[in-house]
Amino acid sequence: SRYENQINVFSEFLEDLPDTDEPVWVLGECYNAKTGKTELLSDVHSRLWFTYRKKFSPIGGTGPSSDAGWGCMLRCGQMILAQALVCSQLGRAWRWRAEGGQPEKYHRILHCFLDRKDSCYSIHQMAQMGVGEGKSVGEWYGPNTVAQVLKKLALFDDWNSLAVYVSMDNTVVIEDITTTCPHSQSHSDWRPLLLVIPLRMGINHINPVYIQALKECFKMPQSCGVLGGKPNLAYYFIGFVGEELIYLDPHTTQSAVEAGSGVDDQSYHCLRSPRRMKITNLDPSVALGFFCKSEDDFDSWCNLVQQEIQMKRNLRMFELVENHPPHWPPFVPPTKPEVQTTGAEFIESTDKLFESEEEFEILNV
């Protein structure tokens, strides 16, 4: 087998799905496991799948050349961000074809994630940006930390112009998002939004009162998946069937792919059976992801949350409020720092936002 994931288990996958009339939900799309198997498979195969890689250039010049054993949450972060970029540039209905012929925008998205220091969302950039979040290169991340890293890196991605909003204290503030998303030049031009909501849905195990609300999140058209898993074992959850979650697993080690005009993308799509796990086995620490391409899309999401998460639940999964809480520090939308000459002024003017040379290298690729 050319790639570790190129084990074609098409029939095995179909047997692996439960023989049920219950709907299968994948990122806001509903499938019938009996009559819609081909469409379901095509959807799952089309998601960009990022795994451990080896033999890439050392991170920071002298750091690790593989992320096996420590990079799984970073890879899941790449997957949730890639899903947002695909929805933004290609649309949710776009499907990958193994025989090739993908649109140019697809290849441009993929290049953002290649394992090299000059790709804007590479493992190199994410690991080094994580230093500012208190994580050493090679240290394991939780869902909130990787969300903060994605928010910072998105500032340097002019092509996608994606706004990343990470909620605080289980609370999504509508006022802060409407401040974040308009382009600075025009308040009428809404930037596509990746909304990440870090949550703790229990102490040691997920509280069963949250399970139905979690399912509702996968049903929303804006669903961009969920970061989570088990302690020190991260997965990218993309849907559910019955009482089981469906996820993409980054715990496969493949060789890094050389960048070039003809990048072979076969190893970036999971053609083996997507994994499933019982919802009750989920670690309570997760991050929900939603993608809103327009302001109308965001308004629609707010209405769904109010109907399905807030009004129907005694114990709310998270809060959605109109105005910035007065007891919180003032909200300051993240902005791309101005980098000049050596960058010394930049470090000074941003109160040492980047506290290490390793992290600052991200701006000089």
∠ CA 260-264-266 to the nearest 5 degrees?
A: 155
249 is known as an active-site residue: yes
With beta carbons less than 8 A apart as the criterion, state whether 239 and 27 touch: yes
* Phi and psi angles of residue 130, each rounded to the nearest 5 degrees, phi first: -65, -20
Rounded alpha-carbon distances, angstroms, from residue 120 to 58, 124, 168, 238, 314: 16, 9, 25, 24, 42
Per annotation, catalytic residue among 43, 45, 72, 176: 72
| Token pair listed for 351 | 């109160």
Question: Residue 285 — left, alpha, or beta (φ > 0 → left; ψ -120 to 50 → alpha)?
Answer: beta
Write the burial class of residue 164 (CB in 10 Å: 0-12 exposed, 13-18 middle, 19+ buried).
buried
| Token pair listed for 176 | 């802060």
124 is known as an active-site residue: no
Per annotation, catalytic residue among 111, 251, 265, 324: 251
Amino acid residing at 308:
E
d(CA 322, CA 194): 18
Per annotation, catalytic residue among 43, 67, 176, 249: 249
Straight-line distance from the first to the last Cα atom of the chain, in angstroms, rounded to the nearest whole number? 35
251 is known as an active-site residue: yes
The count of C-alpha atoms lying within 13 angstroms of the C-alpha of 193, restricted to the half-sphere facing its C-beta, is 27
Catalytic residues: 72, 249, 251
